[in-house]
Amino acid sequence: MMTTTTRRDFLARLGGLAMLTGWPGSILAQQKLPQRPIPGGDEMLPVIGLGSTKPVRQIATQGTEPLQNVMRMLLAHGGRVIDTAPRPEAIDAEFGGVLDMPEFRDQLFVAAKINEPGKAAGIAQFRQTQQLFRRRTLDLIQVENMTDLDVHWPSLCDWKEAGDARYIGVTVAREDRYEALETFMRRESPDFVQVNYSVMETLAEQTLLPLASDRGIAVLVNGPFMNGEYFSLLGDRELPRWAAEFDCLNWAHFSLKYILSHPAVTCVLTETSNPMHMRQNLSAAFGRLPDDIMKKRMREFARSV
């Protein structure tokens, strides 16, 4: 009889499986996350990163220690990508203090965004982010949700040329913007795009992911758990027995392994304020990934939910 693996009992299952097979607990303890290249260069990124909105917003009520613990877990297993978005200045100032701590300062790949309409407002927002994060050079600056993109894109190009940003890109969070993003990707040459993609939201794999591969554009994936809706939709359903065929232990793995099986994906951003959940997410990068036949089965299962 199948049993349901929840986030609560994951660590016990993980330890037991490690004793029997050596995977994935021993691998997670001894090896670093797999990496994939940023197209067009030699730099590699770990395949799982942190979407920081939830833990950073909790600074106001819980302080910075929970955020630090999640970041430590990420770094301990070879992760380094942290995606950010503009938040209240006081919170981002404290976040910047964490980013500047000696244990984190030179270890992270920090992706930031601008989302204010108007050229002057976008420039001011970027300069404030540099100041609050205590970084002259940001690893990646993105135009969030394509806000005033035609106005901001020349600024991003200027910042990259001046060394204020190493990479530049654009994000979308709604599928109704995918067509506009496709047009932009064909017209310009962003280093990165960021899109929603999961086993329950697969539209990106129809055009955007193949186009990114063809155009040499790195892809960050957000929303692997649909901002928590994914787990709510699954409820108390049991993990299918056939999920073991690609070393899937739990529902988090189910979506993350589906995403990581696409070769155009550079890094998946998982959002959590719990270091044990971060560890569970990181473990999805190890072991087998589903092939095309299995992915079809996973999509069919997701549509039945």
The answer to whether residue 8 is domain-embedded is: no
The answer to whether residue 116 is domain-embedded is: yes
CA distances from 85 to 143, 178, 187, 251 (A): 10, 20, 25, 27
Supply the pLDDT for residue 82.
Answer: 97
- The span from the CA of 75 to the CA of 82, in Å, is 11
Q: Are 208 and 193 in contact (CB under 8 A)?
A: yes
Please give the residue range of the domain that contains residue 83: 44-304
The answer to whether residue 29 is domain-embedded is: no
Pick from 243, 249, 192: nearest CA to 221: 192
Supply the pLDDT for residue 45.
Answer: 98
Supply the pLDDT for residue 9.
Answer: 45
Supply the pLDDT for residue 31.
Answer: 80
- Consecutive 10-residue averages of pLDDT for the chain (305 residues): 40 42 49 94 97 92 95 97 94 96 96 98 98 97 98 98 98 95 98 97 97 98 93 94 97 98 98 94 97 97 93
| Beta-bridge mates of residue 181 | none
The answer to whether residue 104 is domain-embedded is: yes
Q: Are 167 and 160 in contact (CB under 8 A)?
A: yes
At which residue do the structure tokens 């693996």 appear?
5
Supply the pLDDT for residue 27.
Answer: 52
Supply the pLDDT for residue 21.
Answer: 35
Q: How many domains, the chain?
A: 1
Q: What is the CATH number of the domain that holds 157?
A: 3.20.20.100
The answer to whether residue 48 is domain-embedded is: yes
CA distances from 297 to 67, 199, 231, 305 (A): 36, 11, 19, 13
- The span from the CA of 210 to the CA of 208, in Å, is 6
The answer to whether residue 19 is domain-embedded is: no
The answer to whether residue 249 is domain-embedded is: yes
Supply the pLDDT for residue 4.
Answer: 40
Supply the pLDDT for residue 3.
Answer: 37
**This prediction's pTM:** 0.90
For residue 153, the tally of other CB atoms under 10 A from its CB is 19
Coil, strand or helix at 219: strand
